[in-house]
Chains A and B, each alone.
Chain A
Amino acid sequence: MFKLVPRKEPLNAMLYATPFIALLLTIVAGFALFSALGKDPAQAMYLIFIKPLTSYNSLAELLVKGAPLILIATGLAIGFRAGVWNIGAEGQFTIGAITGGSVALAFYPDGGFWLLPLMALAGALGGMAWAAIPALLRTRFNASEILVSLMLVYVATLLLSLLVHGPLRDPEGFNFPESRLFQDSALLPNLLDGTRANVGFLVALVAVGAAYIYIERLIFGFQVKVMGQAPRAARYAGFSERRIVWSSFMISGGLAGMAGLFEAAGPVGQLVPSLPVGYGFTAIIVAFLGRLHPVGILFAGMLMALTYIGGETAQIEMSLPSATTSVFQGMLLFFLLGADVLVNFRLARAGKPLVATKPAAQSPALEPAE
């Protein structure tokens, strides 16, 4: 048997190591899972983790899926660091798609170079507005932002459905609950020829850079960290909780809203009820896997995109259920959270504590007792 012994100081190297430990454990558990399902585990692992890296097209797809995950997770991580739990990014994503998409539809069929920036702005503002609700209810009424933001995900999804069934429905669309296809000037320019990869990924990179400066260099970022680790110390130092909660929600809501708009104006090209596919939730995993650090999130987002694309390939080639991917992602987060204990504790072989033995000046508890 093993027992956990506290470290005198947190081992920061572990912060970097545990994501890899978690990935390794997930792969091991994946082997077991696929064997249980009666599938060839080696082939499944190959399809999920290696195959997507071998073709130009699927590499481009990595960028398509990675961009929204990175964009959303970067924003969420700032809030998580402050102890502000916005878990309704999926809702802010949806509202961003609605507001940004509505701008495109309002100008239809006109457009120009100004249209996309305007849409992105509208998307960000939409996400911010949706995020303002939990922010307001927490700062003003002390209501749990976790539950409020989560409830608003369902409301946002229903709102999207309502709108594409009504006011935003394509007038020439035979009553299908879909908007028009966006005009060309409302679609994101491609990044790589012949693929779906779009400039949204570049925006995600910019967001990562900005978030890095915010968290690591700015005094605001310092305040965020203090509030997350010791709220009372933040009050002592005179940091305003209200301002930190609001800014966390505005940043994460804005980025999620923009990600939603990029999804609508990118790979989808219109507003459809099935637009929210869970990026807002997966981004939570990405944020943790990336250690709530912008650069970590960049890598974690790409890894998570890999499991999405690999999962799709495996689904087709091995007739695996589509839910396999989310099981994988869930396991990854579990293993990560579990392995994180090693940052502050170390494993030691547990021996029976010695009572009634010869006096010992050494330290039996530190070393194996037998």
Chain B
Amino acid sequence: MSDAPILQLKNITKTYPGVIANENVSFSIARGEIHALLGENGAGKSTLVKMIYGVVKPDGGEMLFNGEPYAPAKPFEARAKGVGMVFQHFSLFEALSVRDNIALGLSAAEAKKGDLKKRIVEVSTTYGLKVDPDRLVGTLSVGERQRVEIVRCLLTEPKLLIMDEPTSVLTPQEVKVLFETLRRLASEGVSILYISHKLDEIRTLCSRATVLRGGKVVGSCDPRQETARGLAEMMIGQTLSTPTRETGEPGEIRLKVQELFMESDEQFGVDLENITFAVRAGEILGIAGVAGNGQTELMEALIGERRSRHARHIQIDGIDIGHEGPRQRRARGMCFAPEERLGHAAVPGMSLWENAILCSGPGADFARGGFVRHRAATRYADKVVADLNVKTASVRSAARSLSGGNLQKFIMGREILQQPKVLIASQPTWGVDAGAAAAIHRVLLDLAKSGAAVLIISQDLDELFTISTRISVIAGGYLFPSQPTEELTVEKLGLAMGGRVKEIASAKEATHV
């Protein structure tokens, strides 16, 4: 064993049409090191690791693995050399079993070696990653799915393990367990490249950090020696003032949901079970939870894409609206910003002004006598672009040509500038850079201050703690009673997010058996 770094990057460059994803990136990872790759959304982290894993080929530069030239043409080659990767958006197949999923991630020879099922159980017990080889992946929680991915990697006995934003889908307790597993792997000599934009995690876990900004390496440090603020400045390149929440007296109840049950019509969806909550004027209610616990279904029910069984299950200002569709609800002063930007909140191929028409309601009426009001929609879109500082060539640009952050600003602006009485937004800053996120948080706070009731569904606990008046947790389709933000801690929330899930899961299994 030499002391040569396990992986060395020299001047790696990758360009996409109109974008330089990586420019002259150089750094190296030592054996048994947990190395953080830190950067904002769009800093080029994902492209870089895809090159290391052989999904994308670099345009220039050189990589050395174990001191030897390394240029994987395919992920199989990378895996054969000893590079494993756990994806941010899991590369799993819902309709297949855990065992089949793992077999697909191994080469034919590896998959044949011995009894795969037995090996899965062995690895998962050794590292405390409990998985059941026979279950369909679609029935697993997000945390369990991540374990499947990690087990799949470990079966190839990697020398370098790449983790892409692994904690964004986990409860705080699950994060702790994951970190133990990673430390143990590192102590056994496995190097880990840990990609994240969460500074606290990096400071507890990693011994080395490389910071990317705009595709370039802007710094390298020992994160344990740095403050979170210092890291943030390195990552963002400037200091950001986080918006602060002013506590005011909440007003009347505007949005009230009671005893809402709804069966999912998706194959692996979550049924909503007895959802009850209320949001008052001037309040921001945050709903925390791990992805796939009923957030999508709740959003559909609130938008009116699916109607509730009885009108009284959803009320706005005391009026029953559960039976109404999205347009009627908009007419009553509700606005919605769902999580999925392209294809749900916006039509990718349509221009911004056309996308403005989607939310046509009393606050912004773009139809008269059945005709489209082209000019009114254009003016409104122009205003949204100006007010939220959306970077786009013009409102005639297609929605999909905007960056994620700018499109999100446009969508939030489109909804908020209508001065809604009730705003419901899911993951309002997901995949958005820090500057845009701060801007979005500011308008949400302003909206609540002006007397609107705001509901935010988010997986980002930091976000919820920053802007919510009260926070509640959704798990397995159940919603916990909300509590004032001041009385809550991350740990408390985490217990609700994870603990209840297990309770529910075991109860469900018991009834199914």
Q: Do chains A and B touch in the complex (CB under 8 A)?
A: yes
Given contacts A218-B371, A230-B344, whether A353 and B304 have CB atoms under 8 Å apart is no
- From 223 to 282 in chain A, residues with beta carbon under 8 angstroms from any chain B beta carbon are 225-226, 229-230, 232-233, 235-238, 240
Q: How far is the CB of A358 from chain B (nearest CB, A)?
A: 7
Tell me, yes or no, whether A8 is within 8 Å of chain B by CB: yes
Q: Which of A221, A236, A361, A365 contacts B344 (CB 8 A)?
A: A236
User: Does B327 contact A364, Cβ atoms closer than 8 Å?
Assistant: no
- Residues of B near A236 (CB, < 8 A) are 303, 305, 326, 336, 338, 344-345, 358
- Residues of B near A8 (CB, < 8 A) are 17-18, 401
Tell me, yes or no, whether B349 is within 8 Å of chain A by CB: yes
Tell me, yes or no, whether A191 is within 8 Å of chain B by CB: no
Most buried by B among A218, A226, A233, A357: A233
Given contacts A219-B367, A353-B57, A355-B57, whether A235 and B347 have CB atoms under 8 Å apart is no
Cβ-closest chain A residue relative to B324? A238
User: Does A229 contact B350, Cβ atoms closer than 8 Å?
Assistant: yes
User: Does A9 contact B23, Cβ atoms closer than 8 Å?
Assistant: no
Q: How far is the CB of B216 from chain A (nearest CB, A)?
A: 10
Cβ-closest chain B residue relative to A344? B349
Tell me, yes or no, whether B325 is within 8 Å of chain A by CB: yes
- Residues of A near B175 (CB, < 8 A) are none
- Residues of B near A365 (CB, < 8 A) are 14-17, 59
Tell me, yes or no, whether B71 is within 8 Å of chain A by CB: yes
- Residues of A near B248 (CB, < 8 A) are none
- Residues of B near A355 (CB, < 8 A) are 57-58, 60-62, 71
User: Does A232 contact B16, Cβ atoms closer than 8 Å?
Assistant: no
Tell me, yes or no, whether B209 is within 8 Å of chain A by CB: no
Tell me, yes or no, whether A363 is within 8 Å of chain B by CB: yes
Indicate with 1 or 0, residue by residue over A330-370, a CB within 8 angstroms of chain B CB atoms. Answer: 00000000000000000000000111111111111110000
Q: How far is the CB of B77 from chain A (nearest CB, A)?
A: 13
Indicate with 1 or 0, residue by residue over A34-59, a CB within 8 angstroms of chain B CB atoms. Answer: 00000000000000000000000000
Tell me, yes or no, whether A31 is within 8 Å of chain B by CB: no
- Residues of B near A233 (CB, < 8 A) are 343-347, 358
Tell me, yes or no, whether B372 is within 8 Å of chain A by CB: yes
User: Does B60 contact A237, Cβ atoms closer than 8 Å?
Assistant: no
CA of A359 to CA of B24 in the docked complex: distance in angstroms? 7
- Residues of B near A20 (CB, < 8 A) are none
Cβ-closest chain A residue relative to B56? A353
Tell me, yes or no, whether B348 is within 8 Å of chain A by CB: yes
- Residues of B near A361 (CB, < 8 A) are 13, 20, 23-24
Tell me, yes or no, whether B359 is within 8 Å of chain A by CB: yes
Tell me, yes or no, whether A173 is within 8 Å of chain B by CB: no
CA of A220 to CA of B369 in the docked complex: distance in angstroms? 11
- From 176 to 233 in chain A, residues with beta carbon under 8 angstroms from any chain B beta carbon are 217-222, 225-226, 229-230, 232-233
Q: Which of B326, B329, B349, B370 contacts A10 (CB 8 A)?
A: B349
Q: Which of A5, A9, A360 contacts B13 (CB 8 A)?
A: A360
Cβ-closest chain A residue relative to B71? A355
Given contacts A9-B397, A360-B59, whether A222 and B17 have CB atoms under 8 Å apart is no
Tell me, yes or no, whether B162 is within 8 Å of chain A by CB: no
Given contacts A233-B358, A236-B358, whether A366 and B371 have CB atoms under 8 Å apart is no
Q: How far is the CB of A344 from chain B (nearest CB, A)?
A: 9
- Residues of B near A353 (CB, < 8 A) are 57-59
Q: Which of B24, B57, B327, B397 contacts A237 (CB 8 A)?
A: B327
Most buried by B among A7, A219, A225, A366: A219
Tell me, yes or no, whether B330 is within 8 Å of chain A by CB: yes
Cβ-closest chain B residue relative to A216? B372
User: Does A225 contact B59, Cβ atoms closer than 8 Å?
Assistant: no
- Residues of B near A363 (CB, < 8 A) are 15, 20, 59
Most buried by B among A236, A356, A359: A236
Tell me, yes or no, whether A166 is within 8 Å of chain B by CB: no
- Residues of B near A9 (CB, < 8 A) are 397-398, 401
- Residues of A near B23 (CB, < 8 A) are 361
Tell me, yes or no, whether B11 is within 8 Å of chain A by CB: yes
- From 405 to 462 in chain B, residues with beta carbon under 8 angstroms from any chain A beta carbon are none
Cβ-closest chain A residue relative to B13? A360
CA of A365 to CA of B15 in the docked complex: distance in angstroms? 7
User: Does A359 contact B372, Cβ atoms closer than 8 Å?
Assistant: no
CA of A236 to CA of B296 in the docked complex: distance in angstroms? 12
- Residues of A near B328 (CB, < 8 A) are 238
User: Does A230 contact B58, Cβ atoms closer than 8 Å?
Assistant: no
User: Does B372 contact A222, Cβ atoms closer than 8 Å?
Assistant: yes
Indicate with 1 or 0, residue by residue over B1-40, a CB within 8 angstroms of chain A CB atoms. Answer: 0000000000101111110100110000000000000000
Given contacts A8-B17, A361-B23, whether A217 and B11 have CB atoms under 8 Å apart is no
Tell me, yes or no, whether B164 is within 8 Å of chain A by CB: no
User: Does A235 contact B305, Cβ atoms closer than 8 Å?
Assistant: yes
Tell me, yes or no, whether A6 is within 8 Å of chain B by CB: yes
- From 279 to 330 in chain A, residues with beta carbon under 8 angstroms from any chain B beta carbon are none
User: Does A229 contact B24, Cβ atoms closer than 8 Å?
Assistant: no
CA of A365 to CA of B57 in the docked complex: distance in angstroms? 10
Q: How far is the CB of A302 from chain B (nearest CB, A)?
A: 29
Indicate with 1 or 0, residue by residue over A1-33, a CB within 8 angstroms of chain B CB atoms. Answer: 000011111100000000000000000000000
Q: How far is the CB of A22 from chain B (nearest CB, A)?
A: 21
CA of A360 to CA of B60 in the docked complex: distance in angstroms? 6
CA of A357 to CA of B60 in the docked complex: distance in angstroms? 6
Cβ-closest chain A residue relative to B18? A8
Of the A-B pairs whose beta carbons lie under 8 Å apart in the complex, a sample of 20, sorted by A's number, is A5-B17, A8-B401, A230-B347, A232-B340, A233-B344, A233-B358, A236-B303, A236-B336, A237-B326, A238-B327, A238-B329, A240-B325, A353-B57, A353-B59, A354-B60, A356-B69, A361-B24, A364-B60, A365-B14, A366-B17
Given contacts A236-B336, A359-B24, 11 further A-B contacts (CB under 8 A): A6-B17, A8-B17, A9-B398, A10-B349, A222-B372, A226-B347, A229-B349, A230-B346, A236-B344, A354-B58, A359-B61
Q: Show the binding face of A for B, using Cβ within 8 Å.
A: 5-10, 217-222, 225-226, 229-230, 232-233, 235-238, 240, 353-366
Ranked 5 nearest A-B pairs via Cβ: A238-B326, A363-B15, A238-B327, A359-B11, A360-B60
